[in-house]
Structure 1
Amino acid sequence: MLPRPRSRHDYNLKYLIAAALLDDEVGPAQLEPERVQAADAQALLRKVVVRPDAAFSAQYPHALNTRVTIRCKDGRTLTKEHVGFEGGLENPLTWERTVEKFHWLSEPYADEALRDQIIDLVSTLDEHPIEDLMQRLAKVNPEPLYPAKHPGFSNHKGP
């Protein structure tokens, strides 16, 4: 089975591609050992091939582009190319999208009141001592205690 340690699969491009194809997103749930080792993820992972593209590589780090090609058993080839990404240099996340992503990632570790306090402090950081923010962050649980209800970080089609 590939990959094993968490420190490996969260940076393993082959696994991240397989997880994205299977689950339509890559987030904390896809990095859980049970998901990484699931039969469907392992089967698809063995079929993923990653090849560099010289033109894309030459544009790095100013542009982060990708192309995915899927070769089907029936002979069809499907290709999707994506230039740039939301959150990249050319298309930074808006404040609203940053808040949405924060909720998605932090929901299991902090209740809504604490998350809202952290968001408020970050949005007005120049008006508060950093200790205020650090005190709130210290209340975030290192282990998930709350149910994850947030739908994820949706694939937003930005400007």
Structure 2
Amino acid sequence: MPAYMFLRLDFASGRNLGPSRTALLEGIDRLGSISAGAREAGMTFRQAWSVVKLMNESFPEPVVEARSRVAGSGASLTPLGKTLVSIYRAMEDDAYHALEKHLVALEGVLGEDHEAVPEIAKWARIRHYGEQMTSRRTTAEAVATNK
């Protein structure tokens, strides 16, 4: 298992976006529910609701729209929420590919075992990236192809 990095963006305004918040937004988008998105992201409903409330209040416009029980309970991402997720994932992929050769070099210097799967990597793959991890090359594959 390759070394893995996490991208967290901290803006001058105090807003931030990282893997946990992005995973929550993706879960809400995919499952149509804050509670289901929270479970998928490994958060309690209370934590997720606090994150959604903070993001809705701190970004220029809401990122999640919650529907009341009258309208059929659920939640969905606003256009801004979808844009944040899309840009964040693109930045994450770009950063990983830009740093991939350095991750390989660090693993070589440290004598890391490419087959070992550290607990944080298991958690990251399950909680944050789901099936998207399968589309990323591992550092072992990068070594094999000399890139």
Structures share fold, TM-score greater than 0.5: no
The alignment's TM-score, normalised by the length of structure 1, stands at 0.22
Higher relative contact order (CA 8 A, sep 6+): 2
Bigger CA radius of gyration: 1
Question: Structure 1 or 2: larger helix share?
Answer: 2
